[in-house]
Structure 1
Amino acid sequence: MNVRRYQAKNMQDAMRQVREQQGPDAVILSSRRVDGVLEVVAAMEVPTEPSAPARPSMSRSMRTAAADSDLAAMRRELRDLRALLAQQQALSERDQWAVRHPLAAGIIERLVECGFDESLARSLIGGLQEDQTSEEAWSRLRTRLAASVASVQPGVLERGGVLALVGPTGAGKTTTLSRLALHRIRRLGPDSVTLVTFDRQRIGAHKQLQAFGQMAGVPVILLENERDLLNLANRTAGDHLILVDTEGRSARDAAERKLFAQIRHLVEIETWLVIPATHQAGVLRQVLKAFQSCEPSALVLTKIDEAERLGEILSVLLEQHLGLVFQSDGQRIEEDFHKADTAHLTRLALGEPSPRLQPRAQVESAPVRIENPWFAPRDESAPARSESYSRPSTPKTPTAWTAPAQGVMTRDSLVLESVVPFRKSVHAAY
C-alpha cells in the first residue's frame, strides 16, 4: 500500500496533485489545515507479486521460515487494511463530497475564508455545474449573493413623519441622524426637518447633534419622554420630518424595554435599526433579536470601512427579514454615506475592488469650492443662494413648536440653540 502526504492551498489543488502522483484510483484518507495550508493524506493499493514456488530441494526448516515470513506479511497487510477501513469510516462526508465536486468545494472554501457561514456557502452554490470555469461560477455566485441581500427605499425621508434611530451604543446613530437631516435639507431646505434626541445618559451626548444643528440651521430639541415626542408630532405639519436620536442600549436592556410602545397607537413612528459592521456575527445576531421589540422596519449598516470580514455581516443579513436602507463606509458626513448598494457591499465582502471607490477618489483630488454646502440650491439650474446670513437674536424655531397649555414643552428648556454662524467659504467634495 502506497500512502503519501500532500500540501496544497485548497482541496481542488490537492486533488490535482493526488491524481498526478497516484492516479485516479487513489483514496483520500484524511484532510486537515495546518498553519493555513491544507494537508491531505492519500493511499493507493499496490499489487503484490506472487512469491516464487519453493524449490524441491529446499529443506524443511527453510520452508517453515518462508511460511512464517508469508504469514507475517499477510498479518501486516491485514493490519494496514484494518487501519485503512477505520480511516475511511472517520473520513467526513464533506471531504468525500469535495472529492466528487472539486469546483464547488473550492468556492465554498473561498467563501469561508471571506467570513461567510459554511452552511450559507453550501446553499449559495446550488445549481453549480462542474463543467463551468471558476470565473464563470464565481461571477454567478456574486450576482446571486447580491440579489439575496434585501434592501428597501427610504420613503419616510420623502413624505415626512417621525423617524427614530435605535441601536447599540457606538453604532453611529447620531452621525447617521445628521446625514439623514442633510439629505432632507438638500432637497427641501432647513425648515423641513427637526432633530430630536432622548440621549440624556452620556455626558454631552447632545453636543454633536447641537453642533450640526447650528451649522445646518435646524432646531435640536432635547426631550424628556415619549409623550413630549407625541406632543411635538401633533403640532407639526404632516410633511415635516422629525428625526429622533435615541440613547444606545445593550442587547439585554433593549429586549426588556419596548421603545415607543406607549405612543405607537397614537402617532405613526418609523424605526430604523443602526448596526455596525465591526460586530462579530454572534453579537450582531443578539442585537437583531434584542431590538425586535422596537419594531424596526429597516437597517442602516455603518463602519463598513472598519470591518475585517464583511462575509460574517452578510451571512447574518441573509438570515433575517429586514432590508438594508443606507450604508456608510467612512467618517465624512456626506461622501461616505450611501443608499443601500448590495452589489457594492457584496464585492467588498468577497475581497474584490469596487468600481464605486475610484470615481470618489478622483473627485477628492479636485474639490469644488462652494459658499455654503448646507444650503445648496434645490434646483441645479437655479442661481446659488446668497451667503449673507445674519445671526438671529433668538433660535430659529417654527411657530408649531410653541409651548402647549399643559406646559410639557417649553422653548427655553427644550429647543437648543440652532443658528448659522458660518460666513466663510467651505470646501466640499461631490
Structure 2
Amino acid sequence: MLVKTFQAASMAEALRMVKAELGPDAMILSTKKEKTGGLFGFFSKQVYRVTAAIDPVRKPAPSAPVPPAYREQQVRERTAKEDLENSMLAPLARELRELRERVEALSRREEPARQEPETGLPQMAAAQEAGISLNNIPRGDLEEIKKLLLNTLAKSQEGGGARTIQWPNAEQSAAEGQTGAEILPEDSPLAQELSRNGISTDLIRKILDTLATLPVEGGSQTVRSRLGETFGRLIKFAGTLKLRKNSPRIIALVGPTGVGKTTTTAKLAAMYALNRGNKVALITMDIFRVGAVEQLKTYSRIMGIPLEVASTPKELEKAVEKHAACDLIFVDTAGRSHKDKEKLDEMKNFLDNKIPIEVYLCLSATTKDRELEEILSRFSIFQISKVVFTKIDESESLGNMINLLMKDNLQIAYFTTGQRVPEDIEVATSAKLAELILRGAPNE
C-alpha cells in the first residue's frame, strides 16, 4: 500500500492534490489543520495536512452510492456566485420569452389581418397587444426576428462560466434611451445582491440612485468599481493615519467584550511599526481579563515595541508622557458590556483627562443590526472618532455594516479579517468595502 501526506493552504486544495497524484480511489487516512512557522504563533501560517493511501495492485471496490444527505449538502453548498449568475440571466430570459411570444402572436394574426383590409381590426388589436406596429413589416422579416430571438434565448440559457457584468457607457445609454434608474431597477442583480447582504431597502434605493448619477468615463466599467465609487460618496473612510509633528497620536480602542480589541491593538501596532517604520508604543488598561496583559506583552516583546500598564488615570498620563517621542500610541481598554452603564461611565472618567485621546469603537461584523445600534448608542458617551469592524471573515453577510455606517454617518478606519498579526488588518477603503459586499458575486 502506498501512503503519502499532502500539505496545502486549504482543505480543498489538499484533496485535489490527493486526487491528482493517487487517483479518485485513494483512501483518506487522516486530515489535520495546523499552524506552521512564526514564533509563539506570531506570523504563523495555517496549513492543512491530508494523509491518503492507495493499493496499486488491488482493484478498487465499486464506489458506494452517494447518501441523500451528502447530495443535499452538495446542493446547499452551491456558491453565491452561481446564484447571482442565475439571477442575472432570469430577467433577460423572461424578457426574451415575452418578446418572442408577442412576435409569434403577430405572425399568427398577420395573415387574417391582410384578408380584412377594410377594417384592419385584427391587425390593430395584435399590434396594440404587443406594443409593436405591423405597418410595413414583411412576413419574412417577422420570421427572421423570431429566429434571432430563439437563438439569443438559447444562448442566454446555456450553462458556462461566470458572466461579465458591464455598465453601458454614456453613448450606449443615450442611444438606447436608457436612464440610470432604468439600468439599475430595484429587481436588478446588483439590488438583489445588496438585499442578500442584508442592506435595508431604503439604503439600497439610495445606493442605486447615487450610482445612477455617476458619470461613465471611457467605455464599460465593472459593477465592483462603480459600487466602490458609490460607497466613496455615501460613507466616510478615514484612510491611513496621519502623523503629528511634535506629539504622538493617541488612539484608544473601546468596545464590547469579545470583539477582539487586544488583537486589533497588536495588529495596528505591527502595521505601523513593522510595516511602515513608525515609532509606536502600547498601553493596556485591560487589567481585569485573565491573560490580557500577558497576551499584549508577548506581542510587544516579539515586535520590539514598549508596553505600559495603566490601572489609574494618573498612570495613563505618566505612560503617555514617557513615550511622548513616539509617533503613535495605541491604548487597549477592557471590554465592557453595552448594558453595563456603571462600567462604561467608569471607563469614560478614566479617558476624560487632558490627554488628547482619539476613541475608536471596535465592532464585530457578526453582530446583528439592532444590537449594533444599541452598542453605538451606549458607547457614544466616549465621543467616538471612528469605528473598526472586526471578524469580517466570520460573517456571512455585511449589510449590517453598511446600514450602521450610512444611517449614523460614521467614519470607518479599518477592517480585520482573521487572527493573524499583522496580516489580517487593512485600512478601510470604498473599493475594499465593495469587494467584500460582492465577494460572492461573479467576476466582473
TM interval, short-chain normalised: 0.5 to 0.7
Contact 1:255 1:290 in 2 (8 A): no
Distance 1:156 1:227 in 2: 27
Q: Is 2:233 the partner of 1:152?
A: no
- Answer yes or no: is 1:126 the counterpart of 2:209: yes
User: Structure 1's 239 and 291: CA in aligned 2 closer, same or farther, altered over 3 A?
Assistant: same
The letter of the residue matching 1:195 is L
Q: Give the counterpart of 1:294 among 376, 382, 386.
A: 382
| Greater percentage in helix | 2
**Structure-2 change in CA distance of 1:187 and 1:147 (3 Å):** same
The Cα shift of 1:292 comes to: 0.8
Cα gap change, 1:139 to 1:181, in 2 (>3 Å): closer
Q: Does 1:231 align with 2:318?
A: yes
Query: 2:390 touches 2:415 (CA, 8 Å); kept in 1?
Result: yes
Q: What residue in structure 2 maps to residue 16 of structure 1?
A: 95
Q: How many pairs does the alignment contain? A: 272
CA contact under 8 A between 1:112 and 1:121: conserved in structure 2? yes
- How far apart, CA to CA, are the structure 1 residues paired with 2:196 and 2:182? 19
C-alpha displacement of 1:13? 6.1
Alignment partner, residue 315 of structure 1:
403
Q: How far is 1:199 from its partner? A: 1.5
The TM-score normalised by the length of structure 2 is 0.52
Q: Tell me by how many angstroms 1:161 deviates.
A: 3.7
What is the distance in 2 between the residues matched to 1:143 and 1:184?
A: 27
TM-score (norm 1): 0.54
Asked if structure 2 preserves the Cα contact closer than 8 Å seen for 1:347 and 1:353, the reply is: no
Give 1:212's aligned amino acid. Y
1:257 partner SS: helix
| Equivalences for residues 48-197 of structure 1 within 5 A | 103-107=184-188, 108-126=191-209, 128=212, 140-155=226-241, 160-186=248-274, 192-197=279-284
Structure 1 residues 308 and 254: CA distance shift in structure 2, 3 A: farther
Q: 2:237 is paired with a residue of what secondary structure?
A: coil
User: Deviation digits for residues 28-65 of structure 1, max 9, x if unmatched?
Assistant: xxxxxxxxxxxxxxxxxxxxxxxxxxxxxxxxxxxxxx
8 Å Cα contact 2:283/2:319 also seen in 1? no
- Alpha-carbon deviation of 1:273? 1.0
Instruction: Give the 3 Å change call, closer, same or farther, for CA 350–203 of structure 1 in structure 2.
Output: same
SS in 2 for 1:344: helix
Moved more, 214-223 or 293-302: 214-223
**Counterpart-to-counterpart distance in 1, 2:357 and 2:344:** 17
Contact 1:197-1:223 at 8 Å conserved across structures = yes
User: Who wins on radius of gyration, i.e. which is larger?
Assistant: 1
Deviates more, 1:177-186 or 1:270-279: 177-186
> Residue 165 of structure 1: CA displacement?
0.6
Shift of 1:344: 1.5
1:109-159 superposed Cα distances (whole Å, 9 cap, x missing partner): 332123211111112222749xx9998778644531344221113546565
SS at match of 1:279: coil
CA distance in structure 2 between the partners assigned to 1:268 and 1:227 by the alignment = 14
Return the offset for 1:210: 1.2
Relative distance call for 1:298 and 1:329 in structure 2 (3 A) is same
SS in 1 for 2:387: strand
Provide the residue aligned with 1:348 in structure 2: 436
Structure 2 partner of 1:396: none
Paired position in structure 2 for 1:279: 367
- Read off the aligned partner of 1:171 and give its amino acid letter: V
* Pairs within 5 Å for 1:381-396: none
Corresponding residue for residue 391 of structure 1: none
CA 1:340 to 1:189, structure 2 compared with 1: closer, same or farther past 3 Å? closer
Q: Does the CA-based 8 Å contact 1:198-1:247 persist in structure 2?
A: yes
Structure 2 residues without counterparts, runs of 5 or longer: 1-85, 104-180
The DSSP-based 3-state class of the residue aligned with 2:250 is: strand
Given the alignment, which residue of 241, 260, 265 partners 2:328? 241
State how far apart, in whole Å, the 1-side matches of 2:340 and 2:397 are.
28
Unaligned runs of 5+ in 1: 1-7, 25-99, 356-430
Q: Distance in 2 between matches of 1:219 and 1:238?
A: 12
Q: Relative to 1, partners in 2 of residues 1:23 and 1:261: Cα closer, same or farther, differing over 3 Å?
A: farther
Q: What SS does structure 2 have at the residue aligned with 1:201?
A: coil
Q: Distance in 1 between matches of 2:273 and 2:258?
A: 25
Deviations 1:214-270 (A, max 9, x none): 212333232222232123324442545332111111112268724344653422111
User: What is the SS of the residue equivalent to 1:232?
Assistant: helix
Amino acid at match of 1:152: A
Using a 3 Å threshold, how does the CA distance of structure 1 residues 224 and 184 change in structure 2: closer, same or farther? same
2:253 corresponds to 1:253? no
For 1:290-335, what per-residue CA distance to the aligned partner results, in whole angstroms no more than 9, with x for missing partners?
2111112111122111110012322221222221112221222122
**What SS does structure 2 have at the residue aligned with 1:283?**
helix
Deviation of the 1:167 alpha carbon: 0.9
SS of the equivalent of 1:125 reads helix
Measured in 1, the distance between the counterparts of 2:322 and 2:229 equals 47
Which amino acid in structure 1 is aligned with residue 237 of structure 2? S
Cα contact 1:304–1:328 (8 A) shared by 2? yes
Q: Are residues 304 and 138 of structure 1, via their aligned partners in 2, closer, same or farther at CA, if it must alter by over 3 Å?
A: closer
Identity, in percent, stands at 29
The 1:344–1:9 alpha-carbon spacing in structure 2 relative to 1, beyond 3 Å, is: closer
Pairwise mapping of residues 318-333 of structure 1 onto structure 2 (< 5 A)?
Answer: 318-333=406-421
Is the CA contact (8 Å cut-off) linking 1:277 and 1:307 kept in structure 2? yes
Quick check: 2:338–2:379 contact (8 Å CA) kept in 1?
Answer: yes
